[in-house]
Amino acid sequence: MELTFNAPPQRLGILLSGRGSNFLAIAGAIREGRLGGVEIAVVISNVAEAPGLAVARELGLPHEVFVSKGRKRAEHDADVLACLRAHRVDLVCLAGYMRLLTPEFIAAFPNRILNIHPSLLPAFPGLDAQQQAFDYGVQVAGCTVHLVDEHLDHGVIVLQRVIPVLETDDAHSLAERILAEEHVAYAEGIARVASGEYQVQGRRFVKRNASGR
């Protein structure tokens, strides 16, 4: 599939379940003027006590909770979708959103959902990616910003950042250093998508040439 970003997305919907440090990094990049006209339209959490939600409140950003526990996935996702539409979101950013999305949700935002994962995909998808990488004995690690498709941690790669695994590392220190890279990578990935200068060609996320093709 070839897809160009002719109308670059500008209004972000952030979905999170926890700490929200990636969300905060995105908000910081916007505040510092590193993301052009991009703005956060709404922050949505599926967990009422998520610290990231409190951050959104402190920043004065629109925020909503749709508790997912005990609800049917399709019904929960439909509520989240309606909220994103109400806030006229055109790019969804998963920022530590620990839920699989329904195919209907993904189809509603084709190539317009970004995720960040703390490994160099396709290595170590799923939970505890940093621990998986450490246990495997890799010598380089990192993070991946990718478009979301219907498979877990699988969509087209927008960008990756790589760090060496140090002899002094344990899984915790490795995760901390990967997180610092995530905070740079996510804003950069959003900037690429929002620039309108890239297109999806098969599995590749490539810069359009000077003629705009």
Active-site residue set: 117
Among 5, 9, 14, 18, indicate the residue that binds ligand GAR (CB under 6 A): 18
- 5 or 96, CB closer to ligand GAR? 96
- 116 or 174, CB closer to ligand GAR? 116
**Does 20 participate in binding ligand GAR (rule CB under 6 A)?**
yes
**Does 19 participate in binding ligand GAR (rule CB under 6 A)?**
yes
How many residues contact ligand GAR, by CB under 6 A?
A: 16
**Does 21 participate in binding ligand GAR (rule CB under 6 A)?**
yes
Mention every residue, 6+ apart, whose C-beta is less than 8 A from residue 102: 73, 74, 77
Minimum distance of ligand GAR from residue 37's CB (angstroms): 23
Mention every residue, 6+ apart, whose C-beta is less than 8 A from residue 93: 12, 13, 14, 15, 23, 26, 113, 114, 115, 186, 190
Q: String of b and e for 175-185 (b: at least 16 CB within 10 Å)?
A: bebbbebbbeb
Q: What is the dihedral of CA 202, 187, 8, 36, to 10 degrees?
A: -150
77 to 96, contacts with ligand GAR by CB under 6 A?
Answer: 95-96
Among 46, 63, 89, 118, indicate the residue that binds ligand GAR (CB under 6 A): 118
**Does 9 participate in binding ligand GAR (rule CB under 6 A)?**
no
Q: For the chain, what percentages of helix, strand and coil (3-state, to nearest 5) are there?
A: 35, 25, 40
Listed ranges 39-47, 69-77, 116-124, 191-199: which one lies at the site for ligand GAR (CB under 6 A): 116-124
For residue 8, give the 3-state DSSP assignment: coil
Alpha-carbon span 11 to 121, nearest angstrom: 27
Q: Which amino acid is at 180?
A: A
**Does 41 participate in binding ligand GAR (rule CB under 6 A)?**
no
Which residue's beta carbon is nearest to the bound ligand GAR?
96
- 9 or 118, CB closer to ligand GAR? 118
Report which secondary-structure segment, H or E, holds 115: strand 113-117
- 5 or 18, CB closer to ligand GAR? 18
Binding mask 161-180 for ligand GAR (x = CB under 6 A): ------------------x-
Half-sphere exposure of 125 (CA within 13 A, CB side): 11
